[in-house]
Chain A
Amino acid sequence: MPNNVANTVEPAAPPEIAPAQSEFRRVMRVFFGRKLAVVGLALIVFLIITAIFAPWLAPYPPNDIDMAQTLAKPSAEHWLGTDNLGRDILSRIIYGARTSMIIAIGATAVSVILGEALGLIAAHFGGIVFQIIMRFIDALMAVPMLLVALIMASLLGGGAKNVILALGVGMLSVHARMMCAQALSVKQNDYILAARAIGMGNLRMMFLEIVPNAFPALVVVITVGLGAVILAEAGLSFLGVGVMPPYPAWGGMISEGYKYILSNPVLALSPGVAIMMVVFGFNMMGDGLRDALDPRLRGVI
């Protein structure tokens, strides 16, 4: 723990000089040298496996109602007990991993595609285009992300697809800002001038020169962003505008369990532990990736 967060800044090898292979090895070495980053990676791998193999891992189907055993305390039969409809909590948490994963990936994809595109266009063309796009992004950032997502989700109505869209729009400004800043700094380099000199077009320039050079920063932002989306999704589900009720979502389970907090606190508290583990995983992985890919980002992200 002591050494991992704050080693002195080691300048990243300039990508145009270092051969690709050794750069990749260096990144791997730094990343796997951080204990917490490895713990984070392990948690995320665990989440993905849980999400994919949920039907095999879960002891019961997630929506199986057993009115004979409602609000049961944890037992050998039901490790984490049952909810007010007699549904097995552990199974619902396991299936909830699926929901979280799908929404995190979906919303991140939406925000990355829209946000990066806007940031890239703003930075590449500059001038009035930059002003218009970035002022709209500023406006989006002036409203708290959770509120943006909440407004979108409640207007569109709940359900996985709308939640993905709402969170995607909520996270969009972060990605646009980041991409814009990265692209502006990449544009300062001589190889961009060289590319322009040989007559490279706008699209080729953006995708062959700017995006690859801004890539390390994007990977870090995306990783940390996945955790942020999961937290925000839990918040939306808690408020009742998340994924539709019978479908297990961690935030929704907390909100349902909240009513029975005195009789069975495990109900509301256990899904929170799942959320924490996953968000912790993404954050620690993000920290490790940041140190490995681009330590200059420390302080920015």
Chain B
Amino acid sequence: MTAYIVRRLMLGVVILLLVTLLVFLAMRLLPGDPLIIFISQSQVEVYSPEQLAELRHEYGLDKSLPMQYISWIGNILRGDMGKSIVLGQDVGYLISKRLPVTIYFGALSFIVSAFLGIIFGVICALRRGKWIDSVVTVLANIGITLPAFWLGILLMFVFSLTLHWLPTGGYVPPTESLGQSLRAAIMPVICLSLFSIASLTRQTRSAMLEVVSQDYIRTAWSKGLRERVIIYRHTIKNAMIPVITILGLQVGLIFGGSVLIETVFQIPGMGRLLANSLFSHDYQIVQAGTLVIAVVVVLSNLIVDISYGWFDPRIRYG
């Protein structure tokens, strides 16, 4: 088990290195000189060629591509993510301010979707063919088609602008006022989690139905186990394996969705930071931010892989 975790961690490190390589190459090989774009945007001062060269040197843009890559990786390993060209601030500082916000909304969404998705799926499977199954399944099928940002606009229109029940967005730290923080989080969390709730419901339902038709469930019934034992210990536990796979995918989806949802609700998180940095070609931030997100995704995949063994001891970590 420990050997497996170590091996998976090493694989994770390899994957992250490849992520850095891909991101770096994408940023450098695709068109646009970041320095020129920045200077023509600011238009405040006119730079002389010497000053340009100096700036280029300051940001390490005069070195060869492999050298730039190696020094970037070296700096990151030392905890230095570089300095934003456009905002003029330390990238590590910017990310440390924004990441907790995204993780706050993301974690809430993840918990909500895991909880509701699995419960809805189990209810549907146990009440298969009844009205509740039909209603929830239809809703789940609609849930996976809704554009999250559109839902955000719709909710904002109804609950903030028309009914004035909820704030239009923003972020209140939970340490400041938990009530207000959660109130402001209601709509973004609905938008971020709806797709996940819906796809987990679909997944749980079909996994449950698959397990119910297995021989060992029939055996469990015929040897007179109580219904509750059969449902909880035999059916749900066995049905969870494909569900956990889908659950692991939600982390990336929620992060991806946060780019849109943070824009709709004006939330100062990683998603908006990345989107804004992309538009201003501030690629120090884009590089580091993408890497940070990849770290979170890779770690959560690792947790998913390890948790398989808990749900299904037959899985061996060879």
Binding site for B on A (CB under 8 A): 1-3, 5-6, 8-9, 36, 135-136, 138-147, 150-152, 154-157, 227, 231, 234-235, 238-241, 251, 254, 258, 261-262, 265, 268-269, 271-272, 275-276, 279-280, 283-284, 298-300
CB distance from A3 to the nearest CB of B (A): 7
> Which residue of chain B is the closest to A273 with respect to CB atoms?
B150
Q: In the bound complex, how far is the Cα of B18 from the Cα of A141, in angstroms?
A: 11
The residue in chain B whose Cβ has the minimal distance to the Cβ of A282 is: B145
Return the 5 tightest CB-CB contacts between A and B, nearest first.
Answer: A144-B256, A139-B18, A272-B150, A155-B30, A146-B256
Does the CB pair B157–A265 fall under 8 Å? yes
Task: With CB as the reference atom, state the residue of chain B lying closest to A140.
Answer: B22
Q: Which of A144, A146, A156 contacts B297 (CB 8 A)?
A: A144
Nearest Cβ distance between residue B276 and chain A, in whole angstroms? 10
A151 touches B26 (CB 8 A): yes
Chain A interface, >50% SS class:
helix
- A135, A238, A241, A300: most-surrounded residue (chain B CB, <10 A): A238
Partner of A156, one of B31, B252, B256: B31
**Chain B residues, CB < 8 A from A2:** 128-129, 133-134
B142 and A280 contact, CB distance less than 8 A? yes
Q: Given A138-B18, A144-B255, does the pair A280, B145 have CB atoms closer than 8 Å?
A: yes
Asked if B255 contacts A147 (CB within 8 A), the reply is yes
Chain B contact residues: helix, strand, loop or mixed = helix
Check A272 against B18 for contact (C-beta < 8 Å).
Answer: no
* Contacts known (A143-B290, A143-B293, A147-B256); A283 close to B149, Cβ less than 8 A: no
Task: Say yes or no: A254 contacts B149, CB within 8 Å.
Answer: yes
Give, as a whole number of angstroms, the nearest-CB distance from A116 to chain B: 20
Counting chain B CB atoms within 10 Å of each CB, the highest count among A6, A152, A276, A283 belongs to A6
Within B7-64, the residues touching A (CB, 8 Å) are: 11, 14-16, 18-19, 21-23, 26-27, 30-32
Bound CA–CA A234/B153 (angstroms): 14
A239 near B263 (CB under 8 angstroms)? yes
B256 near A272: Cβ-Cβ < 8 Å: no
Taking the nearest CB of chain A, how far is it from the CB of B287, in angstroms? 10
Q: Which of B81-89, B205-213, B225-233 contacts A (4 or more CB under 8 A)?
A: B205-213
From A143, A157, A268, A276, B145 is in contact (CB under 8 Å) with A276
Chain B residues whose CB sits within 8 angstroms of the CB of A280 once the complex forms: 141-142, 145
Report yes or no: B256 in contact with A36, Cβ–Cβ below 8 A: no
Let me know if B114 is at the binding interface, CB within 8 A: no
Q: Which B residues are CB-close (under 8 A) to A299? A: 203, 206-207, 210, 242
